[in-house]
């Protein structure tokens, strides 16, 4: 039998800018630096504050790592005990097309907009955090600085209505296939769904990025930022190996352009500095 890839619909890339996926850090203490009235910018005070921020950030990152390790153990137990069954993307494609099993897409909106599977139901477990207030700005800035600029990953927040939305669409005895871009968020969704009473769950291992080569838009839906612009992602390298030099030249030209722009900005900054220095001396 001929292998069936996941049926997909694709959208052209939106011109709207993505808010920088969430890095796993949340430097909440940055807000205290910005809004603490007693804070003075003397070198000694600044150094102490930065050291305090670094220590708190390292503690938070350590907690995040521990939480993730504990979550992975729980997810592995779900699969090992057969509470959640594993499907490859190809097997999921068969199940969706031939058995009419429902496919639950739990990816955030920035990935879903780029490509999605026909007849799937989209209910994100985490979605792009579009709030802009004093509590979220430091987190968004930190996520951007800590890698969002490179990966294009936006800050995400958990949708507290996720379970309620799923329950509106599917009864508890449904055979649900759960998928995300890389397979981690869908595992988290499976854990929530299982604990809520869903006992016929199927997890797509590796997510949509592990789909058949024909499903290129799905495989590319999770990339972004400077790494996508320069063609430095794994998906783009794989495509370049197949497409040849024509594909690589596009991104080589972009890289050269970035260096030229950076060089021009550096020279311009030097000229402005000299001009301001001349004004001061005269």
Backbone angles phi, psi at 25, to 5 degrees: -115, 155
Of 94, 282, 83, 100, the residue nearest 198 (C-alpha)? 83
Widest pairwise Cα distance in the chain = 84
Catalytic annotation present for 190: no
Rounded Cα distance, 152 and 141, in Å: 13
Q: Tell me the H-state helices in 172-244.
A: 184-195, 216-219, 225-230, 234-243
Torsional sign, CA 47, 53, 57, 60: positive
Rounded Cα distance, 207 and 114, in Å: 15
Residues contacting residue 117 through CB under 8 Å, at least 6 positions apart:
6, 7, 8, 9, 96, 103, 105, 179, 208, 218
SS3 2: coil
Q: Find the catalytic residue in 180, 190, 218, 223.
A: 180
Of 205, 211, 227, 10, the residue nearest 111 (C-alpha)? 10
- DSSP H or E segment with residue 57: helix 43-80
CB 215 within 8 A of CB 8: yes
Of 227, 231, 222, the residue nearest 114 (C-alpha)? 222
**Where are any strands of DSSP class E within 80-218?**
84-87, 103-105, 115-117, 121-122, 126-128, 156-158, 176-179, 201-204
Catalytic positions, written as ranges: 180
């Amino acid at each position: 039998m001929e292998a069936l890839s996941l049926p997909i619909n694709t959208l052209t890339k939106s011109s709207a800018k993505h808010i920088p996926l969430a890095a796993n850090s949340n430097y909440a203490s940055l807000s205290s630096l910005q809004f603490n009235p007693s804070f003075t910018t003397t070198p000694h005070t600044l150094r102490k504050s930065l050291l305090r921020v670094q220590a708190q950030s390292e503690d938070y990152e350590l907690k995040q790592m521990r939480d993730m390790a504990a979550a992975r153990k729980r997810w592995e137990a779900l699969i090992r005990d057969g509470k959640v069954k594993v499907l490859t993307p190809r097997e999921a494609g068969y199940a969706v097309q031939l058995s009419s099993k429902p496919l639950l897409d739990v990816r955030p909106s920035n990935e879903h907009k780029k490509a999605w599977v026909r007849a799937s139901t989209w209910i994100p477990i985490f979605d792009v955090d579009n709030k802009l207030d004093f509590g979220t700005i430091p987190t968004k800035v930190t996520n951007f600085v800590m890698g969002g600029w490179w990966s294009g990953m936006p800050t995400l927040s958990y949708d507290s209505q996720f379970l309620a939305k799923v329950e509106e669409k599917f009864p508890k005895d449904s055979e649900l296939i759960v998928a995300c871009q890389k397979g981690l968020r869908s595992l988290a969704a499976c854990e929530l769904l299982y604990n809520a009473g869903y006992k016929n769950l199927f997890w797509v291992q590796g997510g949509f990025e592990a789909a058949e080569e024909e499903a290129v838009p799905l495989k590319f839906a999770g990339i972004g930022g400077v790494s996508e612009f320069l063609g430095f992602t794994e998906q783009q390298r794989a495509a370049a190996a197949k497409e040849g030099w024509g594909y690589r030249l596009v991104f080589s030209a972009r890289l050269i352009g970035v260096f030229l722009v950076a060089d021009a900005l550096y020279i311009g900054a030097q000229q402005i500095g000299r001009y301001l220095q001349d004004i001061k001396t005269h």
